[in-house]
Amino acid sequence: MDTHDPEFQAMLEGIRERRGDSVSVTDIGDVVHSMLASLRGDISASDIELYTEIESLAKYIRAAKAEIASLRPDEVKDTHLRTASDELDAIVDATAGATNAIMDATEQIERVMEQVDVDQQAILMNATTGIYEACSFQDITGQRITKVVKALKHIEETVDGLLTAFGDEIAKYKESQPKEEKQAEAPIEDADLLQGPQLKGKGNTQEEIDALLASFD
Amino acid sequence: MAVDMNMKILIVDDYKTMLRILRNLLRQLNFANVDEASDGAEALQKLKQDKFGLVISDWNMEPMTGIQLLRAVRGDESLKHLPFVMITAESKSENVIAAKEAGVSNYIVKPFNVETLKTKLVSVLGDF
């Protein structure tokens, strides 16, 4: 038998020289004792401490992964962040539309200014100038909102990183903790009716509302 | 020397609403010959094709910003003396210093009123 261990090999050779191929129970006991002693020597107290640390670290990572998965970062990205960006874009569009409508009306006033006397012209001129100046708020709010959208994009990229790193965990969590589907028959609560202004195409037009109301008649 | 009220003014901004506001305010100051560009690159192209008496530019635009346009104007032999006013929401000292170092004629912070606009234009062009 070749054990590749010189010390153990020497021990076997010694027994073979002394006893030939028949070995006493005492000799077997000596060999086993020697093996156990060498085995104990292989795993030191510091090794055991290290293994324990690694095991607790692994447990900690598993718990952290479960925590992150329970936050549902996929939902944060797909629902909340996207909605926030869309709402901000809608604000920019709405304020731009309103500003242009205000300026359309102001330009109309300017066009008829020549038809009034000089004193009234001066008053109207001051008023229209004030309106143009006030309209510049749209430029400022647009720039501020663009900054917020950029910040949201940065958060979205970070969430993307989480999704890549924890994709499997999130899928497992979703499988083990399915969200309660709202039952179609469940009564609508007051809180469900506080949705705020709807994005373009999401709510009803006035015509659709009129038709809906008429359907009750 | 009297200010030529028919001089062509180039206003540069990526916000269409802002261009409209500026155009209206300039008209109220009796400057009616106004052309528009939506970024520095388009502005530079127009400046090289036509004769302008003044540039009023925003800072934050893509692909060419207002400061890049200013540097390009000051670096061009035929345009380097063109009055250039920056109108921007960028109000940090480092912005103002950078613009001054690049050769800006005057600097207006948004939001602004017509009085400020007039005062700055008078300081650049002379009384009108």
- Cα B62 to Cα B15, B38, B115: the distances in Å are 11, 9, 29
Of A6-10, B33-37, B72-76, B117-121, least confident by mean pLDDT is A6-10
pLDDT digits (tens, 9 = 90+) for A201-214: 888 888 888 888 88
The C-alpha of A71 sits at a distance from chain B's nearest C-alpha, in angstroms, of 37
Strand partners, B35: B10
Strand partners, A38: none
User: Amino acid identity of A127?
Assistant: A
Q: Strand B34-37 to strand B54-57: parallel, antiparallel, or no bridges (unpaired)?
A: unpaired
Q: Do B17 and A125 touch (CB under 8 A)?
A: no
| pTM (two decimals) | 0.67
Structure ipTM = 0.80
pLDDT digits (tens, 9 = 90+) for A38-52: 666 666 777 788 888
Give the start-end residues of each E strand in B58-127. 84-88, 106-109
B100's tokens: 């001054």
Per-residue confidence band for A70, with pLDDT thresholds at 50, 70 and 90: confident
Residue bearing tokens 């939506």: B38
* Mean pLDDT score, A184-188: 73
Per-residue confidence band for A17, with pLDDT thresholds at 50, 70 and 90: confident
Q: Which A residues 131-150 touch B at CB under 8 Å? A: 132-133, 135-140, 142-143
Q: Do A103 and B18 touch (CB under 8 A)?
A: no
Q: Do B113 and A103 touch (CB under 8 A)?
A: no
Contact of A103 with chain B, judged by CB distance below 8 Å, is answered with yes
Task: Look over chain A and give the mean of its residue pLDDT values, rounded to a whole number.
Answer: 82
pLDDT at A182: 58
- Taking a C-beta distance cutoff of 8 angstroms, is the pair B89, B42 a contact? no
d(CA A172, CA A119): 76
Q: Strand B54-57 to strand B84-88: parallel, antiparallel, or no bridges (unpaired)?
A: parallel
d(CA B89, CA B87): 7
pLDDT digits (tens, 9 = 90+) for A100-118: 999 999 999 999 998 999 9
Q: Do A132 and B114 touch (CB under 8 A)?
A: yes
pLDDT digits (tens, 9 = 90+) for B84-125: 999 998 888 999 999 999 999 999 998 899 999 999 999 999
Residues of chain A neighbouring B18 (CB-CB closer than 8 A): 136, 138-139
The C-alpha of A120 sits at a distance from chain B's nearest C-alpha, in angstroms, of 15
The C-alpha of B43 sits at a distance from chain A's nearest C-alpha, in angstroms, of 19
DSSP A99-143: HHHHHHHHHHHHHHGGGS-HHHHHHHHHHHHHHHHHHTHHHHHHH
Is the omega angle on the peptide bond into residue B83 within 30 degrees of 0, that is, cis? no
A211's tokens: 């038709």
pLDDT at A40: 61
